[in-house]
Amino acid sequence: MISAKNVTKYFDDIKAIDDVTAVIKEGSVFGLIGSNGAGKSTFLRMLSGVIKPDRGEITIDGENVFENIKVKERFFYISDEQYFFPNTTPKALKEYYKNIYKNFDSKRFDSLMKGFNLDENRKINTFSKGMKKQVSVICAVSSMTDYIFCDETFDGLDPVVRQAVKSIFAGDMEDRGLTPVIASHNLRELEDICDHIGLLHRGGILLSKDLEDMKLGIHKIQCVFTQSKTREDFSDIEILSFEKRGSLYTITARGKREELTLRIQKEETIFFELLPLSLEEIFISETEVRGYDIKKLIF
């Protein structure tokens, strides 16, 4: 289990991470989402021990991560800014990681390189961005670590490779309890693969919940009332957004499905429908309440 306790990180006067407390349980996929500059990469860099929190601590199974070689063997971190030495080849990388990760599976590495049609003797710096990401993913899964931290890794892969990597992750979760932690802006993709979502906003954690619970606790209602309504008419429930287009109202609110249904239907309605919310809609609603209004960015 990974635990972050009251973690804060500054870059000069920028507070990149603000008192974050979170738990990442083993055997599930943890999706890290958040607006640009929310602190996702900083958080992953701290999980990997690349940088040290100014306050608070990050532990894996109780052991501090920073400058702890023993713990570092337990995870592989794929940074979003990939750097390779000028003349490095995949073959040289394989040798390098074999020294770091004692369970490194060379056969798996070779077979994945073949499967992904990558030449292990070519200089990595001559590969495309996506091909470099493929090499990193192959190194990661061949290292046979308990955790893989992916910073926007999927975002640069083509659909076929993305699907292949998802199946490899799923297989490894099943076979050996791998825990992937994935920071991404591709919420549709995360929605398919994640069990748990951590939403960072302006350095702080807005919520950290199982995806299913998240979906159960927030709903979108579309309805037509017999009489005109305002947001204030529903001040007894927690409304996240309230929109009226013609006679159709779209209300996003926090609460249980049955309770919200009963409450809205207390008013006289001509039409009523409760719709499931996508992760993208949950993200927009949750960040909107904290002043990150997408409409202001678009219009």
Interface residues toward ligand ATP, by CB under 6 A: 11, 14, 16, 34, 36-42
CB 55 within 8 A of CB 8: yes
Q: Residue for token digits 């287009």?
A: 245
Tell me whether residue 89 or residue 208 sits nearer to ligand ATP (CB atom): 208
CB of 85 to ligand ATP, least distance (A): 21
Those residues whose C-beta lies under 8 Å from the C-beta of residue 265, and which sit 6 or more positions away, are: 272
Tell me whether residue 142 or residue 208 sits nearer to ligand ATP (CB atom): 208
CB of 200 to ligand ATP, least distance (A): 6
CB of 248 to ligand ATP, least distance (A): 34
Q: Is 59 exposed, middle or buried (0-12, 13-18, 19+ CB in 10 A)?
A: middle
The secondary structure of residue 124, as a DSSP letter, is G
Those residues whose C-beta lies under 8 Å from the C-beta of residue 135, and which sit 6 or more positions away, are: 90, 93, 118, 124, 127
CB 221 within 8 A of CB 240: no
The secondary structure of residue 53, as a DSSP letter, is -
Please give the Cα distance from 92 to 210 (Å, whole number).
40
CB of 170 to ligand ATP, least distance (A): 25
Tell me whether residue 17 or residue 140 sits nearer to ligand ATP (CB atom): 17
Tell me whether residue 253 or residue 282 sits nearer to ligand ATP (CB atom): 282
CB of 11 to ligand ATP, least distance (A): 3
CB of 205 to ligand ATP, least distance (A): 12
Tell me whether residue 146 or residue 286 sits nearer to ligand ATP (CB atom): 286
CB of 153 to ligand ATP, least distance (A): 12
Tell me whether residue 14 or residue 248 sits nearer to ligand ATP (CB atom): 14
CB of 199 to ligand ATP, least distance (A): 11
Please give the Cα distance from 110 to 55 (Å, whole number).
42
Q: Residue for token digits 């306050």?
A: 55
CB 67 within 8 A of CB 50: no
Tell me whether residue 90 or residue 203 sits nearer to ligand ATP (CB atom): 203
Q: How far apart are the first and last CA of the chain?
A: 43
What angle (nearest 5°) sits at the alpha carbon of residue 186, between those of residues 182 and 189? 75
Tell me whether residue 37 or residue 255 sits nearer to ligand ATP (CB atom): 37
Those residues whose C-beta lies under 8 Å from the C-beta of residue 101, and which sit 6 or more positions away, are: 73, 76, 143, 144, 145
